[in-house]
Amino acid sequence: VLSGCGVYDGTEIHEASAILVHLSRGGAEVQMYAPDVPQMHVIDHSKGQPAEAESRNVLVESARIARGKIASLAKLTTTDHDAVIFPGGFGAAKNLSTFAVDGKDCKVNKEVERVLKDFHKAGKPIGLCCISPVLAAKVLSGAEVTVGHEEEEGGKWPYAGTAGAIKELGGKHCVKEAVLSLTLSYEAHVDTKNKVVTTPAFMCETELHHIFDGIGAMVKNVLKLTGK
Do the strands 196-199 and 126-129 form a parallel or antiparallel pair, or are they unpaired?
A: parallel
Active site residue 130: yes
User: In sequence order, what are the residues at sequence separation of 6 or more whose Cβ sits closer than 8 angstroms to the Cβ of residue 86?
Assistant: 1, 3, 92, 96, 126, 127, 128, 129, 132, 135
DSSP string, 125-188: -EEEETTTHHHHHHHSTT-EE--S-SS-TTTTSTTTHHHHHHHHHT-EE----SS-TTT-----
- In the three-class reduction of DSSP (H, G, I as helix; E, B as strand; rest coil), residue 43 is classed as strand
Measured distance CA(124)–CA(141) in Å, rounded: 16
Of residues 5, 130, 174, 204, which has the active-site annotation?
130
Measured distance CA(179)–CA(186) in Å, rounded: 5
Helices and strands in the chain: count of H runs, count of E runs:
8, 10
Residues annotated as catalytic (active site), given as ranges: 130
